[in-house]
Amino acid sequence: MQGNPDNNYSVKCPYCETVHNGPVSYSFPDQAYVYCRKCRTKISINPDGGEVIAYDVWREPNPNLKMNYPGLYEPKNETPRFTPSHLFKAMYKPKEAFVELYHITDMKIGIMLLIIFGALSSIITFLANQISGSNNIAVGLGGELPLSWVTLAIISLPLAILTSVIVSWLSAKISEFFKGRNDAEKTIALMGYAGMPGFIMGLASSIVIAANIAQMPDYSDPASLDIGALLAYAAVMGAIGLVSLIWGLIVSGCAVSVANDVSFGEGVLCYFGASIIVGIATVIIMIPVVLLMI
């Protein structure tokens, strides 16, 4: 631990090794303490000598700390493992599922699931574009590249996986604005289990496209357009998109909320803000790539 006369110290938590930078509280003239912002461990320190005297892994409540999920701070020696049942439970009871997953999953499992869902989503999007006769595949927000398996393997698939990881990491960073834990590893671990709604709604939209491909209007002949059928198709696709957006925000928001110990609303804001930032950045980065491939 390092400190200075202005009461600003740098303290490393002995339990989770998170570094706390800032002022400490005094319980006695010769003893101070600080609560770890990540694991909420109470760390007692000697302000003169700079050494850690003792640490107490969440046994004494701190009234100044906001805790939405106090049970998460109880030390548990669980072996990380993949539990398929939680993939489905996260769809209808996300908060309960993520609280249960908190001590039994890790970042490796989360990244594995993000890769799987990223691959499945990219393949479904590719096949949907092929079925609809489109010559391009969407990349990021508003970007398009020529449709091919090469584009899918080299650009679309890696970009989908990388985007998911970055959104998870950035969501954790944004949680600090709400006094969250900024736990990127646990956010990625839980976000892996949040991919099922997006996969299901992507599959549903592809099925709708495949079912209506034979009835798609010929836009080159305005006289043959069936406005009623066109509006019905647009309404169904719009409804799928809206459900996908709301469902995804709820599940992903819960994942960010539990991982960083912020409220559900704050978790949604963190995830939504991170998605917008990454989406805009993706468009800016992909512009020269698209221009090169045109």
Alpha-carbon gap, residue 119 to 24, rounded angstroms: 47
> Is the separation of the CB atoms in 252 and 245 below 8 Å?
no
Tokens 């701070």 sit on residue: 73
End-to-end Cα spacing for the chain = 56
Q: Where are the domains of the chain?
A: 2-65, 73-293
Nearest Cα residue to 183 out of 117, 276, 102: 102
Range scoring the smallest mean pLDDT among 3-7, 9-13, 160-164, 179-183: 3-7
Q: Is 18 helix (H, G, I), strand (E, B) or coil?
A: coil
- pLDDT of 162 > 80? The answer is yes
State pLDDT tens for residues 272-292. Answer: 999 999 988 887 876 776 666
- pLDDT value at position 142? 45
**Residue 284 tokens, joined:** 């800016």
DSSP state of 229: H
Alpha-carbon gap, residue 117 to 123, rounded angstroms: 10
Alpha-carbon gap, residue 43 to 157, rounded angstroms: 44
State pLDDT tens for residues 120-159. Answer: 877 777 776 666 665 555 544 444 555 555 555 566 677 7
State pLDDT tens for residues 237-255. Answer: 889 989 999 999 999 999 9
CA contacts within 13 A on the Cβ side of 81: 7
